[in-house]
Structures are given as C-alpha cells and as structure tokens.
Amino acid sequence: MATIQCSNPECQTINPLENRVCEECETPLLKRYLRPLGDPIESWEVGQLLDERYLLVSRQVVLDTQPGIPPNFREDIPENIRKYLRLFPYRLHLPQIYTYYDLDQQEESGTDQLLTIGLLEYGTIPLDESGKPRHPELLPKLTEAWPQAKENPLQQLKWLWQIVKLWQPLEGQQMVSSLLDPSLVRVNAGMVQLLDFHQDEHNFHRIKELASVWLSLVEDTSPLIVDYLRSLCDYLQRDRIPYPELLLNYFEPALRQCGQWYERKYQVFTLTDAGPTRDHNEDACYPTPGELTETSTEQPSFTIVCDGVGGQDGGEIASNLAIDTLAAEIPQLPMFNETRDSQQGLEDLAEVINLSNNRISERNDAEDRHDRQRMGTTLVLSLVHDHQVYLANVGDSRIYRITPDSCHQVTTDDDLASREVRLGYLFYRDAIKYPNSGALVQALGMSNASSLHPNINRFILDDDCVFLLCSDGLSDYDRVEEYWNLKIAPILTQEKDLCQMGKELINIANNKNGHDNVTISLFYCQIKLSSLEPTPLSIASIKADIENAKEEIKPSIDRSDDLPSDLQPTEPLPSTEEKPLKKPNPLLIVGILGILVISVGAYGLWKLLQPPPTPTIPPTPPSPSPSITPPPPPSPESSLPKPGTIIQLTVTLSLWKTPEGDQLIEEVPVETVLQILSQEDSEKDIKIKV
C-alpha cells in the first residue's frame, strides 16, 4: 500500500496515501505531484518507488512521498537545466526544477548505470477529494480550458495576454517555440502555465506565429471578444503587429474595456500578534487590525503588511512609519482621479514606495544610525484599481493567491537564496538549505530610494480569489502551503467568515511556528459579469487608445506586470561547515579562474553594463531581527568604466575571437559580475576579469 510521510519535522509519521491530514499530529499532508524532466521514465514500473521516495503514479506523474525532507541535487548544473533557474522570477507561469541528481541503479536493478532523476514542480495543482490529480498530466491544456471560459471573456483575454508577456523572457533563453506548442501551454489556477520547455531549433521565431495558434480558439471564444480576436490575428499575419511590445499595446485597452463589464466587491481583514516568544511587536498592517473593511469597485481598496527590521528600538518605528506614509499617499495617487494606463500605475506606486523608503532613511540619518543600527522594514502591498490588482513587495514578507483549488506564492523573496537561483548558481530547494539563505538583500529605509528596487506586479481580476499577505511568522516552514486548503479556500468554497479564518491563521503561526511576530491580511476579491448587456469588443472601439500607446512604445518595465520583476545582483552564498557550496560555472564568479582579456569597444561595453544598483549585503547568522548593512550608493565619475570598477551584465555579452565577430568564444550570461582591470593601448580595448 502506498504511503506518505508527514512533513512536520517533529512528527514525520507514515500515513496511508488517501489521508488528508496526519494521523498523529493532524498536520495537513503535503502532496507534491511532479513530472519527469524530458522523456517519461520508462525503466521503472508504475507503482514503484524511485530511490525509496518518488512514487511513479504514471509514466508522466511522480509523487514525493517524503515532502518534508529536502530533495537531492547534482554538483554540476548543465546549461539546459540552468535556463530553468534563470527563469525563476517567472515561476508562476513556468515549471521549476524540484530535484535533479544521479541515482545509481546497481542495488535495485543489478546494472551499473546512473539514472538522472529530474522532476519539475508547478506549485499546487488541482486535486480531487481523494487527493489525486484531476488531470492525467497534472494540468489541462489551454485548448481544453478555453471552451469552459466562454462565459468569462476577461479570462480568455488574460490568457492570451499572459502568453505575449512570456514571449520576451523565453526568447532570451531560446525557448520561445514552447509558446507555439498547444501541448505545452496549460492552465493552472486561471493562469497560463507551461508544462515544460522546447529548445528553439532556430532564432527566427516571430510574434506573428501566434496567430495560427490563436485562430484555432475562435470557435469557442466569447461572442463579446471574438471579433477582436479575429482582427488581432489578421493584424499579426499581415505584419501590422511585428513585435511583442506593440501587441501588448493592443491588449491593454482591450483588457480595460472588458474589465468594465464586471462588478467587484472586496473585503479586507488584518490581524497582528507579537507571538508567544516575543515581548514586543515589530510588525504593522493596514487597515486597522481586527476590523473587517468592505469596499466596491468605485472606492480605493488596498492593504499592507510590514515586518520591521532593526530590533525593538527600530523595527517598530520603521514598519509604522511605512504604513502611515503609504496609507496617506495611496488614496492620492493619480490613478484614482484621472485615466492612467497600467504602466503609469506601476510608476505611481513605485514613487510612493520610494517616498516611504526615504522617510525611514531620513529618520535613520537624523538619528545618526549607521550600518546595522539602521532600521528598516519589509513590505507587501495589494492595491485594486479597475480590473486589476497591483502587488508590491520588498524583503521576505509574502503574498499568496488562493483559488478554490490552488495556492501560489506570487512574490519573490528579496533574499540570498532567490538571488542564487536567478543567477543560475543553485537550485531553489538546494539554496534554502544554507543557514544564511534567508538573509535579506533589501528592505525599506536602509538607504536612499535610488538603491531600492521594489518588485511590483499586477494580476487581472477575472474570478473570485483571496490574496494572503503575511510576514514570515506565518510563511516559514511551509505553513501556508500546508494549511491554505483548510483555512483559506473555505472562504471561497463554503463562504466561511473572513475574520474567523484570519484568527485561525494567527493561531497556526503561533502554535506551529511561534518564533516571531506574525501579521496577516486576507484580501477577498469577488468578481462577476454584470447583468447589463455590454457592447462587444472590437479593435475599432479601442483604436484611439492603441494609437496613443504606439507613440510611446519603449522596452517596458511591463515584465513586472503580472510577472515578477527582474532580480538584482548579490554575492554567492558563503560556504558553511554543514554543506559546502556547489561548484559553479567558473565563468560566472569573479576571480575563480583568473583573467580574461577581450577586445571590445569601451563605449559599447559600457552601454551593456551598469554598476549593481542594489548594495551587496553580507549574510548574517539567523537572528530575531535581521539587519542589513548598505554601502554608499555608487557615484560614477565618468561615462566609461574605470579600472577597479565592479559592474554587472544586464544583457548577454557575446565574446568573439576577433573584432570581426567570425568565431564565438563564449556567451557571458545576464547578471554576471565583471571587474574592469585596465584600459589597453587602444581606447577601444578593455581588460576585464570575469
């Protein structure tokens, strides 16, 4: 009989697979269904355990029967696997590596062969009442989900929009052809999610190729948007929309107009607690904790959670100062008083976050606080405007999006572990095993806003959902992943009371974790199509908005629309006695294998490179109040890099054997750190260390 181990580290009781909670400690059982990387596992029988851990449910589906134990990983990371790591910020829509290592089959099969076990994870997936996957391949195809969304035109538009927004990041990794394969484009929790990637066979894929895929959807498209979709495909095929930025400009006014066909109601409940082991509370939240707030479409609706950094004399001050500033400034944002496009909304929100940062930083300066004495705070914020919700985060407080059958973390932690993954050095579930992996790399108030990079995303609100904002007092040790189905999903499925569920989450944090302050905000969004008869969408009806957008096309920070923003650099995690660092690619770390001399145009190189905008934070041992020590902001004295300058690639840099570019030596990936050693005799030559 198949069994599964309780993920509670203090329990780890073996349970029958059909159980929903542990028989011993009543912790909900984590059931992580995974897919083999690449080809199906043919050498093992269905029902067999791989490495006494991974249950082969089918040729395409594997269940981790020991979810509380960290998975294994190989020392080296092949380049094709490293691409998954670089796309970590987009993990809401793309699979990530759960485990990747070589298994010696000699003991079990009698053959001296290595089996590479590579498994992909997708966050939560839809499960039935017995805890088994609802779909044979874990997620339904978009082509299967599309007809079911015919009565929800905004959802259909959103799916196409998400595909377009994935074009550039996948194109950068030579995997954009994956978006053209209907067998790979799936739906999870109302979002587009790829089942896996294809490596592009050539570099000539064009955005117009989407038209032939989308035309197959026309028959089952909502009557309210079908004419718009046909015209859009026609424009693509005739090269009237030649690149993805322009295509996004066709979607923005369409989403806005379609969003006007819906009615929305919002409920917010916040609560904070010092926890059983603390004598003071450095967390803060908005609206007022313990009170239920209800708003409608016409009113500004937002909620904030902050977790102070800097000890009792600083953390409380910083978190409350951030709350006070944001609560006063957000209702005055231009988006609530005039027509603003989504890009302007992102910029407006970034401005008020920077303002709150500077208020704390100025307080630090006025009180002559330096280095680790400086106070700061993490931030998570949800703000509804029209058909969308803006989500912002700084630090390691988190936002989760919960639907009736899913829970996904929609923010990326500003910590060392996430940076290591994004740089391609470590797998995420490997990186978080390091003692200092949770050290913050940025927080509000530690320095001037010029060195702050808030992550601002947005979601299209097309169906009921709950956003959970919380400090790490709750999110640590996978508590949200364990309890969302019992304590948050019932708000959507059983109309459970928001306030009662919020109080139960605080109790879980205090009883199951208990090591820190805890703060939660439950943001319940209810959406339904209006009973009024809307006018069907057409390109002609939004033509003026499209033409206005064309005039200001620019490489957008739109990558942060719905997709997490690009991460900033940091140093690799330090080695520890518990676990030595993996061996990274020697081309990726400064000073590992010496000096590389290349002939490049100095000005051209400078156009490709820029100093790291976020200060490098030395990791510190885990402590009740983590601290961050920012160095002074960079102040370049000239337009060209001087010897000794540390800079980082913002695009891939190709190294050629000759200036004519007739033989490629190496491609240095994005976010590689370089040091300028000297300027050679020619003004166009620079010696650098990689």
pLDDT on residue 103: 87
pLDDT at 568 over 70: no
C-alpha distance from residue 375 to each of 62, 443, 444, 629 (Å): 46, 9, 9, 10
Domain ranges (residues) in the chain:
1-29, 31-121, 142-259, 269-529, 596-689
User: Residue 661: how many CB atoms within 10 A of its CB?
Assistant: 9
C-alpha distance from residue 334 to each of 344, 346, 393, 410, 476 (Å): 9, 11, 21, 26, 36
User: Residue 649: how many CB atoms within 10 A of its CB?
Assistant: 19
pLDDT at 397 over 50: yes
Mean pLDDT in residue range 180-191:
97
376 has which bridge partners? 309
Mean pLDDT in residue range 399-412:
98
Quote the distance between the C-alpha of residue 437 and its chain's center: 17
pLDDT on residue 550: 56
pLDDT at 634 over 90: no
Kindly write down the DSSP assignment for every residue of 331-380, as one continuous string.
GG-GGGTS---HHHHHHHHHHHHHHHHHHHHHHHHHTT--GGG--EE-EE
pLDDT on residue 558: 38
User: Residue 644: how many CB atoms within 10 A of its CB?
Assistant: 9
How many angstroms separate the CA atoms of 404 and 463, rounded? 11
- The structure tokens listed for 373 are 């004495």
pLDDT on residue 672: 62
Q: How would residue 666 be classed by pLDDT, with cut points 50, 70 and 90? A: low
Beta carbons within 8 Å of 656's beta carbon, 6+ residues apart: 662, 663, 664, 665
Of 577, 671, 669, 653, nearest in space to 616 by CA? 671
pLDDT at 319 over 90: yes
Q: What is the pLDDT of residues 103-117, one digit of tens each?
A: 886 655 555 677 889
pLDDT at 593 over 50: no
Q: Which H or E run contains 487? A: helix 479-487
pLDDT on residue 586: 27
Indicate the residue type of 167: W
Quote the distance between the C-alpha of residue 65 and its chain's center: 26
Domain 269-529 sits in CATH at: 3.60.40.10
pLDDT on residue 619: 37
How many angstroms separate the CA atoms of 241 and 669, rounded? 29
pLDDT at 618 over 60: no
Beta carbons within 8 Å of 36's beta carbon, 6+ residues apart: 59, 60, 62, 118, 119, 120
- The structure tokens listed for 656 are 């050629």
DSSP code for 21: B
More confident residue, 550 or 451: 451
pLDDT at 567 over 60: no
- Out of 5-14, 75-84, 229-238, 668-677, pick the least confident: 668-677
Q: What is the pLDDT of residues 201-226, one digit of tens each?
A: 998 999 999 999 999 999 999 999 99
pLDDT on residue 591: 29
Indicate the residue type of 631: P
C-alpha distance from residue 76 to each of 175, 431, 690 (Å): 22, 14, 19
C-alpha distance from residue 625 to each of 103, 357, 379, 451, 620 (Å): 41, 18, 15, 22, 11
pLDDT on residue 511: 96
Q: What is the pLDDT of residues 65-100, one digit of tens each?
A: 999 999 999 989 999 999 999 999 999 999 999 999
Q: Which H or E run contains 518? A: strand 518-529
DSSP code for 562: S
Q: What is the pLDDT of residues 253-279, one digit of tens each?
A: 999 999 999 999 999 999 999 999 999
Mean pLDDT in residue range 643-649:
55
Specify the residue for token string 């017995």.
130
> 467 φ, ψ to 5°?
-100, 125
> 413 φ, ψ to 5°?
-60, 140
pLDDT at 327 over 90: yes
Q: Which H or E run contains 402? A: strand 398-403
DSSP code for 510: I
Does a cis peptide bond (omega within 30 degrees of 0) precede residue 244?
A: no
Query: CA 444, 445, 447 angle in degrees (round to 5)?
Result: 115
Mean pLDDT in residue range 491-499:
95
Q: How would residue 639 be classed by pLDDT, with cut points 50, 70 and 90? A: very low
pLDDT at 626 over 90: no
Indicate the residue type of 225: I
Q: Coil, helix or strand for 106? A: helix
Q: What is the pLDDT of residues 221-230, one digit of tens each?
A: 999 999 999 9
More confident residue, 668 or 503: 503
> 599 φ, ψ to 5°?
-105, 110
- The structure tokens listed for 36 are 């083999």
pLDDT on residue 687: 55
Long-range contacts at 601-608 (CB < 8 A, ≥ 24 apart): 601/684, 602/640, 602/641, 602/679, 602/683, 602/684, 602/685, 602/686, 603/639, 603/640, 605/641, 605/653, 605/686, 606/639, 606/640, 606/641, 608/649, 608/650, 608/651, 608/653
Of 250, 236, 184, nearest in space to 206 by CA? 236
Q: What is the pLDDT of residues 13-70, one digit of tens each?
A: 999 999 999 999 999 999 999 999 987 677 788 999 999 999 999 999 999 999 999 9
Q: Where are the alpha helices (DSSP H) in 127-222?
A: 142-145, 153-172, 210-215
Mean pLDDT of the chain: 84
Q: Coil, helix or strand for 519? A: strand
How many angstroms separate the CA atoms of 647 and 650, rounded? 10
More confident residue, 627 or 533: 533
The radius of gyration of the chain from alpha carbons, rounded to an integer in Å, stands at 25
Residues in the chain: 690
Q: Which H or E run contains 322? A: helix 315-329
Q: What is the pLDDT of residues 498-553, one digit of tens each?
A: 999 999 999 999 999 999 999 999 999 999 999 889 999 999 989 888 877 654 44
How many angstroms separate the CA atoms of 219 and 156, rounded? 13
pLDDT on residue 543: 85
**Bridge-based pairing state of the strands 283-286 and 61-64:** unpaired
Of 119, 101, 173, 104, nearest in space to 582 by CA? 101
Q: Which H or E run contains 119? A: strand 114-121
Kindly write down the DSSP assignment for every residue of 605-673, as one continuous string.
HHHHEE--SS---------SS----PPPPP--SSSSPPTT-EEEESS-EEEESSTT--SEEEEEPTT-E
- Contact between 167 and 150 under an 8 Å Cβ cutoff? The reply is no
Q: What is the pLDDT of residues 329-383, one digit of tens each?
A: 999 999 888 777 888 899 999 999 999 999 999 999 999 998 888 999 999 999 9
pLDDT on residue 603: 32
HSE of 605, CA atoms in CB hemisphere, 13 A: 23
